[in-house]
Amino acid sequence: MSDQFTQQLSAYLDGELAAPARARLDAHLSGCAECPALLADLRAIVAAAPHYPGRAPERDLWQGIEARLEGAVVVPIARNSPRAAQPSGRRFGWTQLIAASLVMTAVGGGAAWLALRHAPQPPGLVALPPAEVKTVAFADARYDAAVRDLEQVLAAGRGKLDTATVRTVEESLRKIDTAIAEARAAIQRDPSNAYLSRQIAANMRRKLNLLRVAANAIAART
C-alpha cells in the first residue's frame, strides 16, 4: 500500500483520473497486496450508498403536514398576455391551460380566478407576468378549451403511460365529473349556495390539475 496511490483510489473509482495516472494506478494495483482490497471495499460502499433505507422520524409527522395542505394550495399564476404566446409546434394550449388553472374562488353565480403570486413553472412553460384577478363564469370558454385540449392529449398519448396510471387517472376524472355534475344540479335549486360554488370551483381545478399532470407525463415520454 502506498499513500500516493491510496489517495487516488476515490478519483479512480469515480472515473476522474487522467489516463496516465490511471495507467500508473492500474500497474500498482496489479502488484500491491492491500490496495485491491481497499478499492473493492470502497467500491462496495459507493455501490450501496444510494440505496440507504432511511429511518422514519421518531413521531409521525403526517397529521401536521396534512393540516397544512389545504392552506398550501398553490397553482401556476398567470393572466392572458401576448407574452404568453406559445412556441410553434406545441401540441396544446399552455396559455389557456395556465390561465384556466388559476385558483377559483366562488362569487355568486361565477368564479373569481384569483392570481396569487409567482410559482415555479413546469419545465417548458412560458414565463408569465404578475398575477391579476379576473371574474369569469363557470362555463368559461378558456377553461373548457384547456380541458378539451388536455383531454385530447390524454386520449392521443394514453398508450405512453402504464395501464395502472391510465386507469387511476380515468377513474379519478370520472369521479370528479360526477361531483361537478351533482354540484351543478344542486346549485340550480339553490343558486346562492356558496358552499356548492366552492365545491364546483375546487373540482374544476382538480380536474385541470389532474389532466395537466397526465399531459406532462405523456410529454415526458414523447
Positions that interact with another protein (CB under 8 A): 6-7, 9-11, 16, 37-38, 40-42, 44-46, 48-59, 61-62, 64-66, 68-69, 72-76, 101, 119-124, 161-162, 164-165, 168-169, 172, 176, 202, 205-207, 209-210, 212-214, 216-217, 219-221
- Provide, rounded to whole angstroms, the least separation between the CB of residue 165 and another protein: 5
Least distance to another protein from the beta carbon of 115, Å? Answer: 15
Query: How many whole angstroms separate alpha carbon 204 and alpha carbon 201?
Result: 5
Contacts of 180 (CB under 8 A, 6+ apart): 200, 203, 204, 207
Please tell me the distance from the alpha carbon of residue 207 to that of residue 148, in angstroms, as a whole number: 11
Residues paired with 107 in a beta bridge: 110
Q: Residues 99, 113: contact at Cβ < 8 Å? A: yes
Q: Is 89 left (phi over 0), alpha (psi -120 to 50) or beta?
A: left
Q: How far is the CB of 161 from another protein (least distance, A)?
A: 8
Query: Shortest gap between Cβ of 108 and another protein (angstroms)?
Result: 24
Whose Cβ is closer to another protein: residue 30's or residue 66's? Answer: 66
Question: Least Å distance between CB 22 and another protein?
Answer: 16
User: Of 60 and 192, which has the nearer Cβ to another protein?
Assistant: 60
As measured in angstroms, the least distance from the Cβ of 192 to another protein is: 25
Nearer Cβ to another protein, position 46 or 133? 46
Q: Which is nearer to another protein, 82 or 87 (CB)?
A: 87
Q: E-assigned strands of 73-187?
A: 103-107, 110-114, 133-137
50/11 Cα distance (integer angstroms): 18
55/94 Cα distance (integer angstroms) = 41
Environment class of residue 200 by beta-carbon count within 10 Å: exposed (0-12), middle (13-18) or buried (19+)? buried
Considering the complex, state which of residue 62 and residue 192 has its C-beta at the smaller distance from another protein: 62
User: Which one, 16 or 190, has the nearer CB to another protein?
Assistant: 16
